[in-house]
A = this chain, B = another copy of it.
């Protein structure tokens, strides 16, 4: 067996196996044996990259957060220049902003998968302090992102004048979380597409 293996890639493969298991069987079914079966590796091999089972979960969560937040930042960096340039019509700018926030909704397979796993880890982190701090920063981050987005809209003068931006930030963050929760865990009751319509309508309601 070869020696030239990229350890970072191996860890990612293992993290993906964790995601698959969480997705199809739930967090409680994640075990070294399940990961071994999922990846085709032997338990001993996995333990070569992670000394403890706890470490695997921890790493998987960090991987998840990193993927989501980096994709979000990517979209943000594509959005901001377009908005600042001033070449967009008001309607276009609003639609772009809505699309950006909709990035957090489970609108395709990738995001649905991430949403499911995210929720599973979020619940798990409640009683596992080791994981909790990762979410702490993340949840505050989305809250801050909402505030920034609203401030940006406000500077462009597209918001009603009577709005409490801090309040609207909490509201928007909660709405998106709720839309994600419902369309992820109960897609029959609220389809992801419907969730996006609701989000767009909410933003529309903030317009001045």
The answer to whether A174 touches B185 (Cβ under 8 A) is: no
Looking at the complex, which one of B174, B189, B194 makes contact with A178 (CB distance below 8 Å)? B174
Min Cβ gap A7→B in Å is 29
**Contacting pair A174 B179 (CB below 8 A):** yes
- The answer for the CA separation of A126 and B128 in the assembled complex, in Å, is 20
Query: Which residues on the B side are within 8 Å of A178 (C-beta)?
Result: 173-179, 181
Q: Which of A85-93, A150-158, A163-171 contacts B (4 or more CB under 8 A)?
A: A163-171
Q: Chain A 175-197, CB within 8 Å of chain B: the 1/0 string?
A: 11111011001101110001101
Find out whether the CB atom of B190 lies under 8 angstroms from the CB atom of A126.
no
- Shortest distance in angstroms between A130's beta carbon and chain B's nearest beta carbon? 13
Is residue A51 within 8 Å, beta carbon to beta carbon, of the partner chain?
A: no
Chain B residue, CB-CB nearest to A162: B205
Could you say which residues of chain B place their CB within 8 Å of the CB of A173? 178, 182, 190
Please indicate the chain B residues that have their CB under 8 angstroms from the CB of A167 in the complex. 197-198, 201
Q: What are the residues of chain B within 8 A of A123 when measuring CB–CB?
A: 26-27, 119-120, 123, 185
Residue A25 CB within 8 A of the other chain: yes
**A172–B53 CA distance with the chains assembled, in angstroms:** 41
| Contact A171:B26 (CB < 8 A) given known A176-B178, A181-B178 | no
| Interface pair A174/B201, CB less than 8 Å apart | no
**Contact in complex: A140, B189 (CB < 8 Å):** yes
15 extra interface residue pairs, beta carbon distance < 8 Å, beyond A27-B28, A120-B126: A25-B127, A26-B123, A27-B123, A122-B185, A123-B123, A139-B186, A139-B189, A164-B201, A174-B175, A174-B178, A174-B190, A176-B178, A177-B177, A177-B178, A181-B181
